[in-house]
């Protein structure tokens, strides 16, 4: 069956051409508008290259800070506490008085010892005052006196021996003179021993005076080193026995970190290696170095005990704090680095955004160590890529416009 197809008249053809033109014009306008809208929605970003660099190889440990110096102080003598200018947390300097005992009794003992010393010096013919206690025994009065008696007895005995030999003197007179000579010799010897005894007494009096002065000085308790008062268990007016704890002083400008290094990494640690310490909630890094190593691995937990000296001036770290530390065992280790600000971490996944054809492309990465503002990339990037810095809320596929590097 043949169907009748209507013919186009000149008027109907012109209308069709006009409709087609309008439709074509409308589609072209929509495409241009969409392109302009896409360009205006592009996010401006800054990028940085993924490039090789150098890191330090470290061993990460955790441990507790302890004071490098800490001492419990007490008086060497007993007495009543009359002055106590310190309290918990007081900052003290080496040699600064911390407490004082009543001094009257100790001052009287010094005066008594001084008088006894003067008396001992006088008995040896020395001036009352002076530090030179040397004396020649033969020059003392007691020895000179006995020496004169001995000399006289010697002359008498010699004379009578001559007289007896000539028959002028009797034997009885000679025997009497010789006996007197022996007595004079004994008394002279006694005089020398007496002088030595007085010298010993003088030395004893000198020691007693030094002891009395030392006890008087011991009534003032001073700080043995710069530090802070950690504890003060006594009160003013309290009677204290010798050695009773008065205060505990701790040095805080230098701390000691005690940490345990796993056996598999213990062979890398050496004395003198740098240590970087970080405190929970504190963004600062505190420096130090390994000071001591245990000579043996612990059989209980298979770790090596190490100690590091940590500088703490001004004193921010506190003894007893738990810290994490990195021991730098090797420097200048080559690695692939990405800026830390380019990494987005969520739910245990680390990722970065790279720019490809004006679009943000998400790239998962495996990260290693951190050095300042750089992170080591172990997997996920090959190097040379441009990563977006501070991506914020950027999503994969979003249009980006690079504004700087």
The span from the CA of 65 to the CA of 56, in Å, is: 24
pTM above 0.85, yes or no: no
What kind and span of H or E run contains 187?
helix 171-217
Instruction: State the CATH class of domain 43-53+334-404.
Output: mainly beta
Residue 38 is predicted with a pLDDT of 47
Residue 7 is predicted with a pLDDT of 45
Query: pLDDT band at residue 116, thresholds of 50, 70 and 90?
Result: very high
Residue 370 is predicted with a pLDDT of 74
The span from the CA of 79 to the CA of 72, in Å, is: 18
Q: Name the CA dihedral angle for 382, 384, 386, 389, rounded to a multiple of 10 degrees.
A: 80
> Taking the domains of the chain in order of start, what are their residue ranges?
43-53+334-404, 59-68+252-332, 103-216
Provide the mean pLDDT of the chain: 85
Q: What is the mean pLDDT of residues 27-37?
A: 43
Residue 281 is predicted with a pLDDT of 82
Q: What is the mean pLDDT of residues 71-82?
A: 97
CATH (one of 1.20.1300.10, 3.40.50.300, 3.30.70.580, 2.40.30.170) for 59-68+252-332: 2.40.30.170
Residue 19 scores a pLDDT above 50: no
Query: pLDDT band at residue 40, thresholds of 50, 70 and 90?
Result: low
| Separation of CA 329 from chain center | 22
């Amino acid at each position: 069956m043949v169907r009748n197809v209507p013919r186009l008249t000149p008027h109907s053809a012109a209308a069709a051409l006009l409709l087609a033109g309008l439709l074509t014009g409308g589609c072209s306008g929509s495409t241009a508008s969409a392109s302009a809208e896409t360009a205006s929605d592009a996010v401006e970003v800054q990028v940085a290259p993924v490039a090789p660099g150098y890191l330090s190889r470290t061993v990460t440990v955790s441990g507790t800070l302890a004071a490098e110096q800490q001492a419990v102080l007490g008086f060497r003598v007993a007495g009543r506490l009359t002055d106590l200018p310190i309290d918990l947390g007081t900052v003290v300097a080496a040699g600064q008085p911390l407490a004082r005992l009543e001094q009257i009794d100790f001052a009287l003992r010094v005066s008594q010892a001084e008088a006894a010393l003067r008396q001992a010096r006088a008995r040896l013919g020395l001036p009352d005052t002076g530090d030179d206690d040397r004396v020649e025994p033969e020059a003392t009065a007691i020895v000179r006196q006995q020496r004169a008696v001995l000399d006289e007895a010697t002359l008498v005995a010699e004379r009578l021996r001559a007289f007896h030999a000539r028959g002028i003197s009797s034997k009885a007179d000679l025997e009497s003179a010789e006996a007197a000579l022996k007595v004079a010799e004994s008394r002279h010897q006694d005089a020398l021993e007496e002088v030595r005894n007085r010298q010993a007494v003088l030395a004893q009096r000198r020691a007693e005076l030094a002891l009395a002065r030392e006890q008087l000085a011991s009534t003032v308790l001073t700080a043995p080193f710069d530090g802070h008062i950690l504890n003060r268990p006594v009160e003013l007016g309290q009677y204290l026995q010798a050695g009773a704890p008065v205060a505990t002083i701790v040095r805080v400008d230098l701390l000691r970190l005690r940490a345990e290094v796993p056996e598999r990494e213990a062979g890398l640690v050496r004395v003198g290696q740098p240590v970087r310490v970080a405190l929970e909630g504190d963004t600062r890094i505190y420096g130090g170095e390994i000071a001591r190593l245990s000579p043996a691995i612990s059989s209980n937990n298979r770790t090596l005990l190490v100690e590091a000296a940590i500088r703490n001036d001004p004193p921010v770290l506190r003894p007893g704090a738990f810290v994490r530390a990195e021991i730098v065992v090797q420097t200048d280790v080559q690695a692939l680095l990405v800026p830390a600000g380019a990494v987005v971490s969520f739910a245990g996944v680390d990722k970065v955004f790279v720019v490809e054809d004006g679009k943000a492309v998400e790239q998962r990465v495996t990260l290693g160590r951190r050095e300042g503002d750089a992170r080591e990339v172990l997997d996920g990037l090959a190097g040379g890529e441009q990563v977006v810095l501070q991506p914020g809320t950027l999503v994969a596929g979003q249009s980006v416009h690079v504004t700087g590097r």
